[in-house]
Structure 1
Amino acid sequence: MVDAFSYACRDCEGMEACPASVVAETRDEVWKLIELHAQVAHGEDPADWDSETRQYLGTLIKSVKV
């Protein structure tokens, strides 16, 4: 088994209906995928996220074994 990181959009408050989730080798890669998903699927601009939002989203990134 290898350590990896995951994020599920449905874990984010207000996004419970979104089926998207990602798994990647590094936390940085997961962040990039979260940002891309937010742009494409939800029309958000991650550059507009404040530090509180980023901190909250960071708590949703989980360490997993794959």
Structure 2
Amino acid sequence: MAYSYRCKDYPGMEACPASFTAESEAELWKHIELHGSVAHQEEPDKWSSEDRQQIKSLIRES
């Protein structure tokens, strides 16, 4: 099974072309957090539980 996430699916990030696919959801979260930090100058450790739930709702299993 693989897990994927497209940044443009998150509200307000429609212009971002980044997408990630990983073998596990834990690995995918590492990619998402690194991307948020590097590309969007965010601090993932300060993301609210609502932000994390929104991201989780956009993760797809295949």
For 1:5, the aligned partner's letter is Y
What is the alpha-carbon root mean square deviation over aligned residues? 0.5
Structure 1 runs not aligned, ≥5 long:
none
- Which protein has the larger Cα radius of gyration, Structure 1 or Structure 2? 1
SS of the equivalent of 1:35 reads helix
SS of the equivalent of 1:22 reads strand
2:27 alignment counterpart: 29
Structure 2 runs not aligned, ≥5 long:
none
Q: Distance in 2 between matches of 1:32 and 1:21?
A: 13
How many percent identity over aligned positions? 55
Shift of 1:8: 0.3
- Scaled by the length of structure 2, what TM-score is found? 0.97
Q: Distance in 2 between matches of 1:52 and 1:28?
A: 18
Larger proportion of strand: 1
Q: Distance in 1 between matches of 2:28 and 2:44?
A: 14
